[in-house]
Amino acid sequence: MTPIKILFISIEGNTRSFIKDLTKYAVGMHDQDSSNPLVISKEISDQSDFEDESDPFFAFVPTYLDGGNGIDNGVKELMTNTLGEYIAYGKNASLCHGIVGSGNKNFNEQYCLTAKRYASQFNVPFLADYELRGTGRDVERIYKLLAKS
Ligand SMILES: Cc1cc2nc3c(=O)[nH]c(=O)nc-3n(C[C@H](O)[C@H](O)[C@H](O)COP(=O)(O)O)c2cc1C
C-alpha cells in the first residue's frame, strides 16, 4: 500500500504534534493489517528549499490571520505563506489531493480560513478540519479519510 504523504507547516508546534500522532496511529493500523497505509510527512518552513514533488500529497495548514475575515473585509495571512508558495511551485499543485485545516474555533468565521483559501486557490477539496493539536478521535477520523481519498 502506498504511504499517505503529507506536507505541512507548523509555527507553534500544534500541527507537528498532530502529524506525529497521525504517523504513530498509522503504524499501529499498518501493524494490524498491512493494507493500511503508513504516513510519511515533510515539514515546510521558511528555510525549506523548494523541490518538485514526485508523489501525490495532502497539505496540512493552520491559520494565522492578522484581521480580515476573507469575506467582506479582506484577509492578511501571516506565517503560513511558504506552504502556499511551495504548493504553487512548479507542478506541485497538480499532485495535491486535498487540504486539511486546523485553527481555533474562537476565531469564528476565520476558523481554518487559510485551508479553505488554499483549497479554492488550488482547486482541491477541503477535506477536514480539527482544532489546535486535535484529539485521538480527530486522528482516527482523518486517517480513515486520507486512507480512502
Ligand atoms: C496570531 C494568531 C492568529 C491566529 N489566527 C487564527 C485564525 O484566523 N483562524 C483560526 O482558525 N485559528 C487562528 N489561530 C490559531 C492557530 O491556527 C492554531 O493555534 C493552530 O493550531 C496553530 O498551529 P501550529 O502550532 O502548528 O502553528 C491563530 C493563532 C495565532 C497565535
Whether the pLDDT of residue 75 is over 90: the answer is no
Q: What is the pLDDT at residue 1? A: 79
Ligand 1 mean position, distance from CA 103 (Å): 5
Q: What is the pLDDT at residue 68? A: 65
Q: What is the pLDDT at residue 78? A: 79
Measured N-to-C along each axis, helices 14-32 and 136-148 cross at an angle, to the nearest 10 degrees, of 60
Ligand 1 mean position, distance from CA 29 (Å): 30
- Of 22, 18, 28, which is closest to residue 134 (Cα–Cα)? 18
Ligand 1 touching residue 9 (CB < 6 A)? no
| Mean pLDDT calculated for residue range 45-68 | 93
Strands (E), 3-148: 4-8, 39-43, 57-62, 96-103, 126-131
Q: What is the CA radius of gyration of the chain?
A: 15
Q: What is the pLDDT at residue 65? A: 87
Q: How far is CA 60 from each of CA 14, 35, 43, 71, rounded to the nearest angstrom?
A: 11, 24, 10, 22
More confident site: 67 or 26: 26
Q: What is the pLDDT at residue 121? A: 95
Q: Which pLDDT band, with edges at 50, 70 and 90, does 72 fall under?
A: low
Ligand 1 touching residue 13 (CB < 6 A)? yes
| Mean pLDDT calculated for residue range 126-134 | 98
For domain 4-148, give its CATH number from 3.40.50.360, 3.40.640.10, 3.90.470.10, 3.30.565.10: 3.40.50.360
Q: What is the pLDDT at residue 67? A: 67
Ligand 1 mean position, distance from CA 126 (Å): 17
Q: Which pLDDT band, with edges at 50, 70 and 90, does 79 fall under?
A: confident
| Mean pLDDT calculated for residue range 2-11 | 97
| Mean pLDDT calculated for residue range 128-134 | 98
Place of cell 485521538: 136
Q: How many CB atoms sit inside 10 A of residue 148's CB?
A: 7
Whether the pLDDT of residue 94 is over 70: the answer is yes
Strands (E), the chain: 4-8, 39-43, 57-62, 96-103, 126-131
Residue spans of the domains in the chain: they are: 4-148
Atom of ligand 1 nearest to the CA of 14: 25
